[in-house]
Every structure is written in C-alpha cells, then in structure tokens.
C-alpha cells in the first residue's frame, strides 16, 4: 500500500509554489499526497483530512507571523497519532522553536532532507544540510494542488522558480542569515531546459497567459539569461513577470540585461525602492541606491515597454511622515505601473529586528507580529525622523556600507530622551527623543492612511502635497467624504474635473455625473486615476465597500485591497482588458501646473 502524505500551508490568492515542488518530490518517491491550504487560521480541514484519509505523515510549511496557530495545529496533529515534519522560513531561522512541535524540523534548503524523511532515512529532530540549496528541483505536482483548489489551476498566471539566492544585505530580510548559515552566498540556478519543460507541462493541462518567476533576483547570471532569453522565446513564448534589483539595471551591462528580458518576452518587472529618504535607504535598510540610480533604472524599464511595480516600506526606524511623503514623491516622479506599499514588521533574527530592539523601538518578539505587511506599525518612533541619527552617524565618520547602526544602542536617559552609545566602547555619541504616546499614535495612524491610499496617491499630480493634507486630517473628521473634499480642492487648478466626471459617468453607464451614487459622487477622482475606473467603481459598489456602518478605516482597508488586485489584473499583468485611466488620457493634453513654494514644501 502506498504511503500517504498531507502537506499544509497558508491559503493565498497565488499558488503555494514551495508546496508544489515538495508534492512533486513525494510523487517521485511513490507517495500519495493531499494538499490542505488553511484559510483564516482555520485548521479544521486539516483534522478532517487526517480522520478521513489516515495519512502516514503531515508536513507543515510555516511562515513567521503565522507560526503560533500553526504550532497549535502541529501539536493537535501529533496528539492524533500522526508524525509531523515542519519546514519553511520559520523552521529555517527558528528551528529550536519548531522542534517542540514536530518530529522532524527541516532547516534551510530542504528537498534532499525531505526525501530522506519520506524514505525513513532521517533521524527525528532538527536537520540541516549545508549543501541543501544545491538539490535539484523536482518537477512540481500541480495536478494535486489544482484539483483540490480549482481556482488556482484556473488562474491564467502560474509561478515558477528559475533560481534561488540573493547576495544583498537588506536589513528586513533573512537572506543574509541564510547565506551565513550556508557559508556564504551562492546562486542556485535551474537548468533552462528544466524551466522550459515545467512551462510546457503547465501549458498542456492548464490555462497560462503569464508566468511569474518568484526568484529573488531573476537573471542575475548573465550567461544563463542569454540562454534563457532565446529558448523561452522560441519554445514557450508566454510573457513573464520577474523581480530584480535596481543595481542590475546600471550602465551598459544593465541596459543589455534589460534588452535580454524584453527579447525573452518579459512583460513586467517588480523591484524595491523601499524609501525616498537617502539616509533611511543607506543606514537603516542597507539599500545603497542613490535617487539617480532609482529614477534611471525605472525609466529604462518603462522605456522598454515593460510594466513596473515598485515596493516600499513605511514606518521604519527613524522615519517620520516626511520621509514617508518623500517615498510617495519619488514614486510620483517615477510614475510606475503600480506602487505597492507595506508597513514594517521588525522580524527577530534580521538586522532590522536588531536595530529596532537596540534602539528601543520594539521590545516584543515574533510572537506578536502579524503575517501581513499591512498592519499598523508596532514601533516606537522618534522626533524629527532621521535628523538626530544622521548627525550622530556623520560625527562618527562612518560610511553606509560599514553599517554603523548595528554597533550602537539607545540607553534611556529620562523622559523621552535616550543616549546613543557605542556598544563596544560605551562612548556616548548623542541623543534621540522618542515621540510621546499621543504623537506616536498619530504617526502610526498617518502611515496607515498613506499605505491604504498609496497606489492611488502616487498617480495624483503633486502627490506629496495632497498626502500631507490627508495625513493631517483629525481622526474625528477622517472619512471618505473628507478625502474627496480635499482631493477636489487639490485638483481643481490642476485638472479638468468636469470633463473627468463626465467620462467616469459614461464608463459607469450613467447619463451624467448627477446620477453618481453618493459614495462615488463624494470622490469620483479616486477612480479617474485608475485604469478601467468606471468598471472598478461599479465593482467596489457591488462589494458594498462603502457601507456607512463600516467606518473609514475598514472602508479604506477594503478599498486598498481591491485597488491592488485591480491594478495587478488590469495594469501590471494585463490579464484583464481595461481602458486607460481617465486622468492618463487627459494628462497628455494638459500643461504641467506650477506649484507655489509654500504648497510644494512637504518638509523633506
């Protein structure tokens, strides 16, 4: 009788790529496999599958932020008499925490170790193979996942890994720790023939309009990219989206790399900017990119006809509303296809976690962090954003690549003041001042507002000016209607609002703006900056987003989520047809307005 395996992971709107490959490894060893994807922390389907299917083993893929309820589920599964193996990011970086909830914990690259578990060759406990990242990828078992979750199989976008590994040292990422535990950076690149075979296998059985390569840095190996560009175009011919670093667009070599992307059929690129403030990028985030490189790299991508999604993080250590508005302004100047934005989660085990802890910004641990990147900031923030810390670093004479913040700590000095002390010598180098509770709450609220509205705001002329006004609205007055009122005042000298309203009404199938439902009439301009704005406005109404009983925060949360998904489908991936944004159609015929000095001052 064939042995049975259940693999458990979190349900997302995109397929669980790691699970697909693990299921493929199990298939190749003769195991029957069932996939259970957990929604909203409801593990009852896992327990039901165990009772009905009687598996020999249950494997959990666990991410930080989702680990507490997952651990409880692991404990219950073991109490049901079924052994458990845990893998995934949390097992890689917090294997000791996982060990008390599993029979096996697979740390790091796990295909080889996972195969040994299935073959009965791996002793119980925590296992790590320093050469694990060199294991060949199995052909994924998409059938098992797609048959259980038909909506994933029906999606026109499928994900593939082309390579694994990242040499960069961003503070908020675990990649530096991953490289360290493996003895240094090494890029694991799959043979082009394997990737082409995987794509062809998808095309035979499932719809495929686009492939999303989930590599941290796609095309890092130029020779590999040259082979890929030719074979993918000739043998697959499906557009793809990928993630790269801006550094890889630099100079003639970067231009040639982008040319190869375009030649291969790359329709769009995702890359991270993270902050519009140079100090935060260099000293806090370890993203050593000047504005000029960011703007030029983004321009090169857009000039080649590819779509562009930028990524940024709000509410990082030493940020304030002005640094966040600078991030908005930078995106406004770049004009990406989509400006995806998150709020920092300071994960323990990363350098960002160390900075947040050492400077007194965060005293918790991973157990109190959410799995999403859109929740309210949990940090304690400082007065003046980066100003005091920048002066201290300048006085040290330390360069950004020396990472001076990792050698400093804050020592409480009474009230809101803390002295900045060198960890090794004990020398006091200066002071910072924490925000009081009320001011901290205000800043955290401001970042939530910006995050919810960022994709829209980044498209509005002089976005940072409007953003500043929106962040200053008192909580008691914060509403969809107030956003509309301030937006109208902001745009009235910048845009032909009457014409826009008429066009939006036509897109919604209305005879005139007088027929707008109340929520649309309160702020029609939101929809004028989005592609297929009329269709999107109707969709938002149908979903009941503007239910008066919801309150402004819930309305903007749901609207922000729907806006992201709409931009993914219509603008970034173009898997759904839609008209150009009304504002985009009109802006080509409009002069660029001048801004008075007072209005242009955002404090950055």
SS (H, E, C) 51-117: HHHCCCEEEEECCCCCHHHHHHHHHHHHHCCCCEEEECHHHHHCHHHHHCCCCEEEECCCHHHHHHH
Nearest alpha carbon to residue 541 among 523, 572, 520: 520
Q: What confidence tens digit (pLDDT) does each residue in 301-320 have?
A: 999 999 999 999 999 999 99
Residue 597 has pLDDT above 70, yes or no: no
pLDDT at 599 > cutoff 60: no
Sheet holding 307-314, edge to edge: 157-160, 210-213, 240-243, 266-274, 307-314, 338-343
Does residue 4 surpass a pLDDT of 90? yes
Q: Which two tokens stand for residue 545?
A: 């987003």
For the stretch 542-580, pLDDT in tens is 999 999 888 999 999 999 999 999 999 999 999 999 999
Calpha distance 238→403 (Å, rounded)? 42
Q: What is the mean pLDDT of residues 470-488?
A: 97
Q: Which pLDDT value is given to residue 548?
A: 86
CA dihedral 593, 598, 599, 603 (to 10 degrees): 130
Distance of CA 218 to the CA centre of its chain: 16
> CB–CB of 3/57 below 8 Å?
yes
Q: Give the strand order in the sheet containing 428-433.
A: 408-412, 417-422, 428-433
Res 112 pLDDT > 60: yes
Q: What is the mean pLDDT of residues 436-442?
A: 97
3-state SS assignment for residue 428 = strand
> pLDDT digit string (tens) for 6-36?
999 999 888 999 999 999 999 999 999 999 9
Nearest to 82 by CA among 113, 105, 61, 55: 55
Q: Convert the pLDDT of each residue in 345-396 to its tens digit.
A: 999 889 999 999 999 999 988 888 776 777 899 999 999 999 999 999 999 9
pLDDT of 369: 78
Share of the chain above pLDDT 70, in %: 97
Whether pLDDT at 167 is above 50: yes
In a 3-state reduction of DSSP, which class is residue 512?
coil
| 190-217 pLDDT tens trace | 999 999 999 999 999 999 999 999 999 9
pLDDT value at position 365? 81
- Whose structure tokens read 């401001």? 446
Would the pLDDT of 122 be above 70?
A: yes
Kindly indicate the confidence band of residue 95, based on its pLDDT and cuts at 50, 70 and 90: very high
Query: Which of 78-87, 106-115, 312-321, 538-547 is least confident?
Result: 106-115
Q: What pLDDT does residue 587 have?
A: 55
Question: Has residue 421 got a pLDDT over 70?
Answer: yes
Q: Please report which confidence band the pLDDT of residue 256 belongs to, taking 50, 70 and 90 as the band edges.
A: very high
- With cut-offs at 50, 70 and 90, classify the pLDDT of residue 485: very high
Above 60 in pLDDT, residue 86? yes
pLDDT (tens digit, 9 = 90+) per residue, 517-530?
Answer: 999 999 999 999 99
Higher-confidence residue: 137 or 432? Answer: 432
Residue 592: pLDDT over 80: no
Provide the pLDDT confidence category of residue 132 given band limits of 50, 70 and 90. confident
User: How confident is the prediction for the chain on average, in pLDDT?
Assistant: 94
CB 4 within 8 A of CB 49: no
Q: All domains of the chain, ordered by start, with CATH?
A: 4-134 (3.40.50.280), 156-305 (3.20.20.70), 475-599 (no CATH)
């Amino acid at each position: 009788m064939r042995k049975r395996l259940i693999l458990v992971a979190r349900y997302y709107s995109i397929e669980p790529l790691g699970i697909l490959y693990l299921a493929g490894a199990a298939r190749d060893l003769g195991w029957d496999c069932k996939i259970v994807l957990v929604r909203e922390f409801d593990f009852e389907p896992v327990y039901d599958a165990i009772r009905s299917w009687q598996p020999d083993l249950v494997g959990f893929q666990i991410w930080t932020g989702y680990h507490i309820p997952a651990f409880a589920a692991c404990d219950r599964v073991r109490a049901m008499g079924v052994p458990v193996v845990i893998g995934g990011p949390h097992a890689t970086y917090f294997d000791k925490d996982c060990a008390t909830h599993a029979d096996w914990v697979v740390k790091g690259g796990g295909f080889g170790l996972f195969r040994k578990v299935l073959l009965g060759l791996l002793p119980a406990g925590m296992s790590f193979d320093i050469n694990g990242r060199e294991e060949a990828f199995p052909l994924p078992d998409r059938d098992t996942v797609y048959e259980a979750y038909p909506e994933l199989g029906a999606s026109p976008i499928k994900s593939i890994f082309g390579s694994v590994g990242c040499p960069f040292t961003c503070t908020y990422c675990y990649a530096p720790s991953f490289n360290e535990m493996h003895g240094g950076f090494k890029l694991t690149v799959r043979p082009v023939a394997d990737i082409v075979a995987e794509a062809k296998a998808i095309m035979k059985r499932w719809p495929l309009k686009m492939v999303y390569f989930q590599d941290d840095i796609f095309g890092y190996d130029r020779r590999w990219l040259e082979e890929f560009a030719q074979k993918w175009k000739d043998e697959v011919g499906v557009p793809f989206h990928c993630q790269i670093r801006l550094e890889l667009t630099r100079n003639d070599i970067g231009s040639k790399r982008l040319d190869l992307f375009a030649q291969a059929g790359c329709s769009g690129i995702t890359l991270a900017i993270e902050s519009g403030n140079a100090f935060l990028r260099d000293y806090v985030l370890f993203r050593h990119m000047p504005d000029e490189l960011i703007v030029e790299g983004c321009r090169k991508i857009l000039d080649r006809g590819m779509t562009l999604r930028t990524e940024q993080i709000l509410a990082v250590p030493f940020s304030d509303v002005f640094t966040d508005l600078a991030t908005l302004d930078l995106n406004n100047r770049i004009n990406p296809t989509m400006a995806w934005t998150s709020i920092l989660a300071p994960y323990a085990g990363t350098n960002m976690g160390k900075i947040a802890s050492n400077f007194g910004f965060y005293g918790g641990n991973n157990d109190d962090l959410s799995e999403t990147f859109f929740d309210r900031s949990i940090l304690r923030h400082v007065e003046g954003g980066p100003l005091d810390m920048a002066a201290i670093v300048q006085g040290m004479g330390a360069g950004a690549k020396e990472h001076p913040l990792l050698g400093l700590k804050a020592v409480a000095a009474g009230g809101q003041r803390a002295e900045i002390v060198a960890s090794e010598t004990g020398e006091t180098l200066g002071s910072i001042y924490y925000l009081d509770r009320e001011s901290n709450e205000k800043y955290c609220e401001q970042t939530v507002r910006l995050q919810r509205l960022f994709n829209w705001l980044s498209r509005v002329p002089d976005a940072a000016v409007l953003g500043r006004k929106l962040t200053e609205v008192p909580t008691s007055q914060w509403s969809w209607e107030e956003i509309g009122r301030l937006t109208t005042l902001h745009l009235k000298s910048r845009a032909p609002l009457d014409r826009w309203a008429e066009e939006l009404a036509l897109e919604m199938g209305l005879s005139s703006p007088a027929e707008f439902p109340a929520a649309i009439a309160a702020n029609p301009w939101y929809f004028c900056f989005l592609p297929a704005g009329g269709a999107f406005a109707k969709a938002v109404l149908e979903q009941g987003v503007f239910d008066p009983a919801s309150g402004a925060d819930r309305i903007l949360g749901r609207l922000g989520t729907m806006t992201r998904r709409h931009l993914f489908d219509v603008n970034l991936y173009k898997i759904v047809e839609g008209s150009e944004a009304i504002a985009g159609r009109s802006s080509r015929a409009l002069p660029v307005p001048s801004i008075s000095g007072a209005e242009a001052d955002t404090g950055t």
